[in-house]
Amino acid sequence: MYEAAALEGATWWQQERLITLPMIRNTVALSVILSVIGSLLAFTQFYILTKGGPGTETQTIVNYIYNRGFVQLQLGAATAEAFALIIVVGLVTAFQFWALRNRDE
């Protein structure tokens, strides 16, 4: 495809924009979706390094839910917050699928 585009007189930028980017679109979309989900559900790294401290400076939502459920023993509230987090992650993922969908199909 690159040779055909070069023969047709396409510039480097046109080749990248019209050939390369559409070919890697699905891979980029999957990487973005997994990165966002991973950042929303980050827990282990922060807990091992800082346990949410100093104060609450590195406390993520998952760390907050953990502290509420297992440190403060408010299991009902922690369960409700975890369920709300699942819904939020699902909505964000659905929006990303919608925004990154392949409009040609």
pLDDT at 72: 92
Indicate the domain borders of the chain: 25-99
pTM of the model: 0.70
Pinpoint the alpha helices (H) of the chain. Answer: 2-7, 12-15, 21-40, 44-49, 61-66, 75-99
- Kindly report, residue by residue over 22-77, the tens digit of the pLDDT: 888 888 888 988 888 888 888 888 888 887 678 777 788 888 899 899 999 999 99
Dihedral sign for Cα 64, 70, 71, 77, please: positive
Where does the pLDDT of residue 104 fall: very low under 50, low under 70, confident under 90, or very high at 90 and above? low
pLDDT at 54: 80
CB atoms near residue 63 (< 10 Å): 19
pLDDT at 28: 86
